[in-house]
Structure 1
């Protein structure tokens, strides 16, 4: 249904809407919002009486994690257990501040994932990484984060560090890293209070896997 309504995992977030836009019959809904609301994936967080609109969002961390796990077969692999176990090992690597080890784990795992028919865009891999990183429950993950000079593909805040990831398809980790430096993405997060690590990642369209990466 998300694919039918052109909704990506990152789009399920805080939204403002009138009651008719989310509390409507699902059989004739113009957007996926009624389905998300009636299934409990989003709920009412606030109501503005002056302008008669509601603010909706995912209720809590547990529901967000459950939603993320439900999306694994469509965005990562049919083997949900293997993905959650791999995400756990990635979290263990990142807790040791070992991004190189985390990407090696991810590369090894993706080598076992069956052929995916919609893996021909950078956006696909961005959404895939978003789903995987969102399984790391103690981390904050966001995509397309705006800076004065562009948008960072993925920003991830761990317990100790801030990671800025740029994703390329059929190019190189070096070119992804070059874009981060050229547009000075670090400056946007200079006051975060965390050490900043940039990660340029390239995916190969033929193997549908990470080919190389640059960590700075």
Structure 2
């Protein structure tokens, strides 16, 4: 589904009500990485990259978030091709974070809780197609272990009514999206798509995980 670029809208009472219902508080991972100094990278896909990017930009310890394409090849890593739904790519985000401040497991917790619905197959909100599938793209054996352990933990706890369909698959490449898709939520806060589908996710992050939320944002100027 091709999304409009700019559709101004003042946040309505209906939108605010939706924001209160957004997100689900999940248990912390029982298996997690040890906090350590340095820099690490995680890649997630959860529907439109505008909203997933916006959520992670407000997580404490996150240094930068970039929107992009993952799962296909370089020749088709552009918005027009990916929007057709047959390139193998998923709209995704690359999160660079400080593992001394936030762990990979905590990023997983935020991702499954407020960034997307892990029980909908090839669909998030109004967007349909494999390019909007949810996935954790692991870059290391540890990330694979932690992601699979957390999915199993949530399944055993029956955290969701329906089964989790989020993929846990190896990262084969990440291609950064066009400039107009970077920092989209912050540059277009009153766009209709953002107000209805994405702003509620950030509000849910602040409400459900106040200790992990920061009002400032990664990439902020």
The structure whose residues are more often strand, as a share, is 1
Q: Which has the higher contact order (CA 8 A, sep 6+)?
A: 2
Give the alignment's TM-score, normalised by structure 1.
0.29
Give the alignment's TM-score, normalised by structure 2.
0.28
